[in-house]
Amino acid sequence: MTAQSANKILRPIIEIDEEKCDGCGQCVMDCAEGALEIIDGKAKLVGEFLCDGLGACLGGCPTGALKVVERLAPAFDEHAVEAHLASQSKDSAPATLECGCPGSAQMSLAPKSGCPGTAAMSLNTKTGAKAQAAPSALSHWPIKLRLVRPDAPYLKGADILLLADCSATAYPALHSELLPGKVVLMGCPKFDDLEDYINRLAAILKGANAKSLTVAIMEVPCCRGFAHAAAKARELAGVNVPINLVQIARSGEILEQKAI
């Protein structure tokens, strides 16, 4: 019996309904204490003393499988959390979830070179003919800002591209001009939680010692939220990383580039 399990107190703690849990792993990403893991395709509380009971993991759960209850449990142990997170960060291998969910597994990729033998093939949907396409410049997975861990190894000293998701479709030269050499973080400044993005980006900028941050947005007004988020995150992180704003037209060309 551990010291944490010997003495229990009545306090708030996370409870998981396994019948509702689909094993997506979003709660694992949202738990800053590392108290949750995906085991046998379901979210599990791996240490009651690691859970602070504040419920930061609730909002991202798509099925409502998580809730905060009050029951007897070991007291929350901040020192145990620090040791737990430190032991996780020592492993430089990409973190993978047992459910195998590709949206949550952190991994580095090798961007394709421009050699003819490695280039991807595109399909003309009208004629059915195949042609050589530009190679992918994607260097990591996942790419959604909500899923990228601030301690991911590929973020260290990186040039970061904060990409409004519509821009990826509108800008045809994304993989040949904007993306090469950058770590991309993607989201929607209109429909996603911008405050959450600010906090996540601040944690990344503070911990990764990023070289630069490029913000690619569309010309539509709602997209400018990402420019605000980037500037606010830099302020919260207390870093002096240069930020370059790239505005893309609906028709696909770059309208403006400037430092912010």
Rounded to a whole number of angstroms, the distance between the first and last alpha carbons of the chain is 55
153 and 229 both lie in a single domain: yes
Of the three residues 52, 68, 89, the one that is the final residue of a domain is 89
What is the reported pLDDT for 157? 94
251 and 165 both lie in a single domain: yes
Tens of pLDDT, residues 12-46? 999 999 999 988 888 888 888 889 988 888 899 99
Is residue 63 assigned to a domain?
A: yes
Share of the chain above pLDDT 90, in %: 54
164 and 255 both lie in a single domain: yes
167 and 57 both lie in a single domain: no
Q: What is the mean pLDDT of residues 136-158?
A: 89
85 and 162 both lie in a single domain: no
What is the reported pLDDT for 29? 80
What is the reported pLDDT for 104? 59
Tens of pLDDT, residues 172-210? 999 999 999 999 999 998 888 888 899 999 999 999 999
141 and 230 both lie in a single domain: yes
What is the reported pLDDT for 2? 47
77 and 142 both lie in a single domain: no
79 and 168 both lie in a single domain: no
Is residue 80 assigned to a domain?
A: yes
Give the CATH number, domain containing residue 165: 3.40.50
The overall pTM is greater than 0.75: no
78 and 142 both lie in a single domain: no
Counting the structural domains of the chain, the total is 2
Question: pLDDT grade, residue 105 (50/70/90)?
Answer: low
Q: The domain containing residue 21 runs over which residues?
A: 3-89
From the list 152, 150, 163, 162, the residue with the least C-alpha distance to 202 is 150
Of the three residues 89, 105, 123, the one that is the final residue of a domain is 89
Give the CATH number, domain containing residue 45: 3.30.70.20
Statement: residue 68 has pLDDT above 80:
yes
Question: pLDDT grade, residue 249 (50/70/90)?
Answer: very high
- On average, the pLDDT of the chain sits at 83
